Chain A
Amino acid sequence: MLLRKDLIRLNVAAETSEEALRAMAQVFVDTGVAKESYPDAIVLRESKYPTGLPVQDKDFDIATPHTFAEHVNEEAMGVCVLQHPVQFQQMGTPEITLHPQILLMLAIVDPQAQIKTLRKIMKLIQNPDALSAVRDAKTPDEVYDILSPLLA
């Protein structure tokens, strides 16, 4: 299981994508999941290759920030729910602006070993109702309980 309860943060204040990314990436550093270089690497990667993804029929989008394995100590997934959506660019089509309120932040070393989980994360991206429930959750426990059966 990639998702870790200690990497779930709710009600995070951020005005820009960089503030949101740095706030969440720092949690990965503080828990030892990622190296000190991780926040800068996440921000740089997002500016070059954005990870925003549209969510169907909802008033918010998501982003899946991640970066190279050299900045990662152990594989994990975290969830950041922002107080309000901030502007990100769309993966693959950076001229499109999206408004993610949920970041599914990934620390991945060996994608082949995680391919089943990555497929489940993709299914989650295509599940607006689950994402809405995550967005509206009141506690990290609640987020964990919504997501763990979907990602197990």
Chain B
Amino acid sequence: MARPKVVKFLTVCGSGIVTSSMIANIISEFLEEEGYEPEPSECNPSEMANFIARVRPMFVANASPIDADELDGTPAIPAIGLITGLGVDEFKDKVREVLQAAGI
């Protein structure tokens, strides 16, 4: 069996700790279900530009407002719905779209 494809992603929240970890955990579980190998990183908005340059994530999932200019072309998916439970399917669809567009 082929090794699962690695999906790097970055979660962003106000403190870069609590909410981003919760979201990272949910997204990782979802990516595993889809047959990928998740590789999450977490940060706060002021660290985001650095993380994007260093990690080169396939997408950003944000639980705080972020500066679109700092995304450097990385797709950003609002992730509050994962916390509230409202909009989970919508979020997953967007992740699938991003991965499809990236051809993996």
Instruction: Please give the residue numbers on chain A whose beta carbons come within 8 Å of chain B beta carbons, in ascending order.
Output: 45, 48-51, 53-54, 56, 64, 66-69, 90-94, 106, 108, 111-112, 115, 118-119, 121-122, 125-126
Contact = CB atoms under 8 A, between A and B. Distances in A.
Contact of A45 (B15, B78, B84, B85): B15
A92 B63 CA distance: 5
A73 B44 CA distance: 21
A56 B64 contact: no
B13 to A, nearest CB: 7
- The B interface, classified by DSSP as helix, strand, loop or mixed, is mixed
Which size class do B's interface residues fall under?
A: 20 to 34
Nearest to A116: B25
Contact of B25 (A49, A53, A69, A118): A118
A25 to B, nearest CB: 15
A118 B21 contact: yes
A125 B14 contact: no
A69 B17 contact: yes
A141 to B, nearest CB: 27
21 contacts: A51-B19, A56-B84, A66-B17, A68-B15, A69-B17, A91-B19, A92-B64, A92-B78, A92-B80, A93-B65, A94-B65, A111-B18, A111-B21, A115-B21, A115-B25, A118-B21, A118-B25, A119-B22, A122-B22, A122-B26, A122-B83
